Structure 1
Amino acid sequence: MKRIGILIVIAILLVNCKKEEVKVNYASFGAKISTENALSKEEMMKQFSSLKSGDTIDVKFASKVNKVCKAKGCWMKIDLGDAESTVKFKDYGFFVPMNSEERKVIVNGKAYVAEVSVAELKHLAQDAGKSEEEIAEITEPKRTYSFMADGVLMEE
């Protein structure tokens, strides 16, 4: 009798400890893509680090949105840990909601690295109203991580 009571308690514990899958709903933008085989932001950062200026790779990765264009949702900045990637949308064919900050996304497309020259950085700083001292401090080109997305899944 004691054994039956122990077995019942164990069965109840096993049923109650069952791991529940959380279903995430995604809104889709651009080309239809799946959640399968998406790299993490850390894996994507390793991919970006291995690229040289002008290199391009086809890839899909998951992360969260740090910033989004407030005019029409035509670009977003995606978290890569210690850096971020600027994501634009292929052929300006689609946009994302302008209130997308902090949402999880999966982006599919082409990742590439570009180097912005010192002259261009100084020009951008001048356009942004930076002081002459701040502009003079720009002495090295900046490596940027960019992404041209053909499809985006965004957590609803």
Structure 2
Amino acid sequence: MASFDAKFHWSLELEEKLIMFVMDYPCIFYPKVVEYRNAEVKANAFVKISKAVGCDPSEDKLKWAKIKDKFVRERNVNNKSSGSSSSDQTSKWPLFECMRFYDKHIQRRRRSGNMNSSFGRKHVESGDEDGDSQVSENEKENAATNVLNKC
């Protein structure tokens, strides 16, 4: 195999080229494809891409990961924007439009916390939006009695 320079310089043109070649290999970006979980198939795809781009497969793989992460961050920033002008807002990142194909392959995760969902509603309904209400001594005693009765 050819020797590659360890400090490969990525130009915008080469990054676009990498994205175009990755689009030809769904096993790299599409989780519903059977080969997505096959590391050997993905490695072979990056070898083929690296020959076309002109760098080491590990550099292609790393650069793809960085581009993919940047796209997700940019997309999330655009989605979080509020106000009437948010619909007109698009990323200024030059590769954003080129990466739009990846949008439908991103698996969104549900976020959850360790707070009971009724906690927030209880305080909002009582008019205490911050959740800083003072608990009366009677409520504390009743709660303590209930705990002791369960033991």
If the length of structure 2 is used for normalisation, what is the TM-score?
A: 0.21
If the length of structure 1 is used for normalisation, what is the TM-score?
A: 0.21
- Which has the greater radius of gyration? 2
Larger fraction in strand: 1
Q: Which protein, 1 or 2, shows the higher relative CO under an 8 Å CA cutoff with sep ≥ 6? A: 1
Larger fraction in helix: 2
